[in-house]
A and B are shown apart, each in its own frame.
Chain A
Amino acid sequence: MDWRRFGFIALIIAILFSVMVLIGRVQTSPIVIVTSMMATTIAVATPLTLGALSGIFCERAGVVNIGIEGMMLAAAFFGWLASIYLNHVYKFAPLPSLIGGVVAAVLTGGLFALLHALLSVTFKVDQIIGGTVINILAVGITGFLNRQLFFEEGSIFGGDVPHAPGTLPRIAIPILADFPVVGRIFDQQPITFAAILLVMVTHFVLFYTRWGLRTRAVGEHPRAADTVGISVERVRYMNVVIGGLMAGLGGAYFTLESVSSFEPLMTNGRGFISLAAMIFGNWTPFGAWAAALIFGAAQALQINMQFFREVIPPQLAILQISYVVGLAPYILTMIILTGIVGKTVPPAADGQPYEK
């Protein structure tokens, strides 16, 4: 990750923030708008950050994973389902139910990742097809169970979706969160904090531990790694599953942290966008996080703009059409992939099955 690219990211985020300030300054002071934007940006970037970390673990070990979207969707559903079961059937209090839900989501991600590892490492299936299998299966299973369990006659909850135990509570960081106005940024929900922490952990693991060195060796030159006695299969399995756990945590964000309900297809392409964040971040944790923040900022703009619908100045009238801002992350992804803003270098053995 070079500084030029971080500069570009900062510029884009600054532009998105300025647009918001321009729109909202009639009603609210810029400082309040900027802090609110920052807080929202960090929060909505969470699943993208975790998805990108998931991709980094897989691809640094040489396994392309386009199944992150499916892993997140499945994790969102099963995490939510677990929290409802714990709360309603086993009569746990809301908070333990939610924590149980997060655990279930993380494990769901890991389980789907195990399938991906089985397909791509053991069976040497084309990795993009393997990921597609996961995406289709996740859509099917979540859609099927959602209807079978909640909406059909004679379903367990009597054709009615029971109340979910809410969302994870906010945690305010002592001292930092006590600052007036800007304190809001340090008052977030747990998965958001976890994602930021995991960015640092991943950076450390990848670049400062023996495990990270082995992972990168397997992703860059599996034969050389094999020659010095590293088990390519084992390293790939482990990394894909770790990636799955991350994607699972990202999935938990949707149904346990952001809102307390599940809708079919609710991940809405975020898993794919996190791959773009990973690529734009050049397969580094901090780079991917920064890229995730761009998408987060675009989404934060879309969310915050709804409060100022009435006061959008006529020069920016085009923003009235929420679709225009809604398109930004997708178009941005495509622009980034062209390499206009700097070439990216994937791990050399990315996507190639290893044959002894």
Chain B
Amino acid sequence: MQLDNESRGMFWRSVLSAVRAALRAMLIPLLAVFTAMLTGGVVIALAGGNPIAAYVGLFQGAFGSARALSETAVWSTPYIFAGLAVSLTFRGGLFNIGAEGQLAFGAVAAAWVGYALPEVLGLSLPPIVHLPLAIGAGIVVGAIWAAIPGALKAYTGGHEVINTIMMNYISLNLVSYLLNGPMKDPDPLNVIARTPLIDESARIPPIVEPLRIHWGFPLAFLIACLVWWLLWRTTLGFEIRTVGTNIEAARYAGIRVKRILVLTMALSGALAGLAGAIEVTGLNYRHELGFSIGYGFDAIAIALLGKTHPLGVVLAALLFGAMRNGATRMQFLTQIPVDIISVIQGLILLFVAADRIVRYLYRIRVAEERVVLTRGWGG
């Protein structure tokens, strides 16, 4: 069968319009990133550094070699999972500030299964069983940890923003107790709060030795597709989005809102827990205290920069991963502290959230869309 010219033209036109729509959606975030980098440059200059040298170092560190690229991928992997976790709750009208705690517990659970379970069971597990068990444990524990504030929100009205923050501090305390106490690496040379190394059978193999990039990176893309599929191609996803858009309408339409609220949080926690489990099984082969600190807020910035769409989240996570990775080299070359990245990320979030500033600066007239999450504190 042969396509006539007209329908071929229509096909290309539809592709073109899809590309144009995607570019339009990316316009504000890209300009926000650009403006934030520019402002960050001013901050660097004010603090007595050379912004151009800093950014050159940043770029080299992120993309300058095969090793740099691999490290960028390694950094981006947990960001993708955690960003997806937060964006999922945004779609469901919830705000999960607790990704950090869920990630930490996911990591602890995966580490425990990784180093202790075979011993407890008294048998050696083959990788095909051990690895999925370790990752699964991270997912389940993350989901449970997040379901608690979800249930509190659904059944008592306790606001998830405060509750997830509180649970971050609770998890930080508990994890630091575990890593300093019962789960501490017994190696006599060890002085830091960390678990022992996990067994070989619970490790994700690297893709190309000797680079550290591992199969968790492609898995993150797969999970992003899965989240997209869940949100836009399943009934559950439809229900989540309906609850997120209009909770009253959802209730009126017969959606069991409370159940959806708990499920949304649990799914989000599962993704955050997965982030922790993948870091343990794919990269560090153990969990170390302090490793998870800061991921929660980064994930929020990533979710918002990616406009809470899985594809956008992946792109935003790659950007954040590149920045975090490149920052080490930047600090090495120019003595500018890596913390500048947090400033830039805060600015990115600022410009994404207050897109009117960006619109005003660059005279853009694309229709506005507004995220509204705040619903008071639920009395």
Expressed in whole angstroms, the Cα–Cα distance for A269 and B162 within the complex equals: 10
The interface size of chain A toward B, counting residues with CB under 8 Å, comes to: 57
The winner among A118, A143, A151, A321 for most chain B CB atoms within 10 A is A143
Known: A153-B335, A275-B162. A140 touches B372 (CB 8 A): no
* Interchain CA distance A272-B101 in the complex, whole Å: 15
- List 28 A-B pairs, Cβ < 8 Å: A64-B374, A126-B373, A130-B353, A132-B97, A133-B350, A133-B353, A136-B346, A139-B294, A140-B340, A140-B341, A143-B339, A144-B43, A147-B337, A147-B339, A265-B293, A269-B169, A272-B166, A275-B162, A279-B377, A330-B170, A330-B173, A331-B166, A338-B152, A338-B158, A339-B379, A346-B376, A346-B377, A351-B374
Q: A234: CB under 8 A from chain B?
A: no
Instruction: Tell me if A137 is interfacial: C-beta within 8 Å of chain B.
Output: yes
Task: Please state if A334 and B158 are interface contacts (CB–CB under 8 Å).
Answer: yes
With A334-B158, A337-B158, A338-B158: A129-B349 Cβ-Cβ less than 8 Å: yes
Taking a contact as CB atoms under 8 Å apart, the answer to whether A128 and B377 are in contact is no
A337-B152 contact, Cβ under 8 Å, with A119-B353, A126-B373, A327-B170: yes
Output the residue of A135, A140, A268 with the most chain B CB within 10 A.
A140
Partner pick for B339 among A125, A127, A144, A275, CB 8 A cutoff: A144
* Interface pair A124/B337, CB less than 8 Å apart: no
Please determine whether A334 and B166 come into contact, CB atoms closer than 8 angstroms: yes
Please tell me which stretch of B77-85, B112-120, B296-304 contacts chain A, meaning at least 4 of its Cβ atoms lie within 8 angstroms of it.
B296-304
Shortest CB distance B304–A (Å) = 7
A268–B176 Cα gap in the complex (Å)? 14
B304 touches A148 (CB 8 A): no
Q: Please, how many angstroms separate the alpha-carbon atoms of A326 and B177 in the complex?
A: 11
Closest to A70 in B: B346
- Residues on A with C-beta less than 8 A from B374 are 64, 126-128, 351-352
**Interface presence of B356 (CB below 8 A):** yes
Q: Which residues of A contact B152 (CB under 8 A)?
A: 334, 337-338
Contacts of A141 in B (CB 8 A): 43, 343, 346
Q: Are A66 and B379 in contact (CB under 8 A)?
A: no
Say yes or no for A333: interface residue by CB 8 A criterion: yes
Q: Does A276 contact B (CB under 8 A)?
A: yes
B354 contacts partner chain A, Cβ-Cβ < 8 Å:
yes
Q: Which of B177, B339, B370, B379 contacts A321 (CB 8 A)?
A: B177
